Structure 1
């Protein structure tokens, strides 16, 4: 699927069964319980052509005009171990404090445009470019490019050291090494600032700095937490190490985060309910799809 196609999909999702006649049409049939949730105050018509019986389910005609600009994506099955780690990274399922606010899935919908400030060492810039392009080329809905001015950018990376004290982010405070700040609206990330403060660590090797930069860069792409469920060499593990790698499973977690085989921008409860419902449909021999509106 092309990057453009996925990037224009919005956050309104309707859980539907795979009825082949529904594909590429301007209307759909919804289960009666889903129809009532979508239209709680609308009367249901049982006139001929406005409902169907399918696999013992009553389906009601829904002629939402947005269907003409929608796309159905097959549910992407993942095993329980994979999902347990994913939920820990996205929702802090296993280490959310009692006084913390409920977490929501956050990701980029629009293309990421990175600007490297002149303060950034070219070694770090080139390495970040290399990793960014690899992600962009291998994850359909994660589109990363580079721009030549701060005004054109939505992702800023800059460096502080003894020669440069020009702090470009007002939001990042009390940062003694490396940190980022994400801005989002309705859980869609639209701006990120990554600050690399080397003032206290100028005698540390560039390779060690780079490893920590990678760790925060990857986490910024989904406002991810870290997890104790991952091996210490993982980029997303909670271990404090300076030689982490983007393991194959780390890449799959990132790829899944930007996959549209499940509803996006939800809280943990909704995420788990959608998976439960989708698996029940698969168990009953049906193909599950998630409908994404433009």
Structure 2
């Protein structure tokens, strides 16, 4: 498997017993070579074999000396969760776009600017919502700024009084969101628009505001596998933040998975990790991020 910015690091710990317990650390031969190490005769003499895998004995400080990136422990999930997550990130199972879609995420802090047409209590509610969904996610920072030039996310209401359409590519009558991302699939700019000429009820305006903002955090799609009340369900009903929404968002911003990858790479990652865990339950699995 090849990853543009990431690779998998599998550490095996094998214990021997005498008067004291002895722990020896091994990594896969192919990973040892990928890290730029030349095999020696002593390396070959110390090989261990696990099924079809060849393991190389490494010193306790090997990972620190050879790791040029950030090493994060792999975060396993069950198959049911992963199927829902893939619906949300890559689209429906049979859609043509699914195989080409990439995982998109915010790497930098989200700095929100509210245009003058957004009621103060609506902006306050949105920031409370943002705090609630990001409070347990270290890699997702959301703040409010008072200067448009300092922002990378703009929220505005469109109506007769406030008629500047800052992002006309949001062409749904009631409003929506629009995001931009770079070649690494990192989102760097976003907009949410609510057209209050068509959405008259204030509760509906806030509902839509929360809904579009949540989906803009990962270019999320809908899943028919989720309960209707979820922001990421396929139902057209009032939503609320569910435990499933929280879990999906937290996982999306975990660095225990590869970031910005296509579906094929995502599947290969988990198949490789799960196969390793089935054969070696005590294996320590890591995703290494080069930047």
Q: Indicate the TM-score class for this superposition, using the shorter chain for normalisation.
A: 0.7 to 0.9
Count of paired positions: 269
Q: CA RMSD in A?
A: 2.9
In structure 1, the partner of 2:47 is 53
Aligned-partner Cα distance in 2 for 1:19–1:168:
53
Q: 1:119 to 1:29 in 2, by over 3 A?
A: farther
Residues 125-134 or 49-58, more deviating: 49-58
1:178 matched residue in structure 2: 175
CA distance in structure 1 between the partners assigned to 2:42 and 2:69 by the alignment: 22
Equivalent position of 2:261 in the other structure? 266
Matched, 1:110 2:108: yes
Secondary structure at the aligned position of 2:76 is classed as coil
In 1, the alpha carbon distance for the partners of 2:161 and 2:267 equals 50
1:108 and 1:190 in contact (8 A); partners too: yes
SS of residue matched to 1:18: strand
- Is this contact kept in 1: 2:228–2:235, CA < 8 A? yes
The 5 A counterparts of 1:28-43 are: 31-34=28-31
Report if the CA contact (8 A) 2:113-2:151 is conserved.
yes
Q: Secondary structure of 1:138's match? A: coil
* Closer/same/farther in 2, CA of residues 290 and 54 from structure 1, 3 Å limit: farther
> Once the 2 structures are TM-superposed, how far is the Cα of residue 60 of structure 1 from its aligned partner?
9.7
Aligned-partner SS, 1:189 = strand
The 3 A distance-change label for structure 1 pair 277 and 68 is closer
Shift of 1:53: 2.3
Q: Choose from 130, 140, 143 the match for 2:141.
A: 143
Distance (Å, rounded) in 1 between the aligned partners of 2:242 and 2:149 = 34
Task: Give how far 1:187 is off.
Answer: 0.7
Deviation for aligned residue 1:157? 0.6
Flag the structure with larger Rg.
2
SS at match of 2:135: helix
The superposition leaves residues 74-120 of structure 1 with CA deviations (integer Å, 9 ceiling, x where unpaired) of: 21111111111100000014252x36771000001111111111121
Structure 1 residues 173, 129: CA separation in 2 closer, same or farther (over 3 Å shift)?
Answer: closer
Residue segments in structure 1 that go unaligned for 5+ positions in a row:
1-9, 21-27
TM-score w.r.t. the length of structure 2 is: 0.82
Take 1:169 and 1:66, find their aligned partners in 2: how far apart are those partners?
48
SS at match of 1:142: coil
Residue matched to 1:153: 151
Instruction: Note the alpha carbon deviations across 1:252-277, whole angstroms, 9 max, x for none.
Output: 00000001111111111111111011
Deviation at 1:65, TM superposition (A): 11
Structure 2: state its 5+ residue gaps: 14-24
Give the secondary-structure state (helix, strand or coil) at the position aligned to 1:125.
helix
| Structure 1 residues 67 and 194, CA gap change in structure 2 (3 angstroms) | farther
Checking the alignment, whether the CA contact within 8 Å between 2:152 and 2:189 is kept in structure 1 is: yes
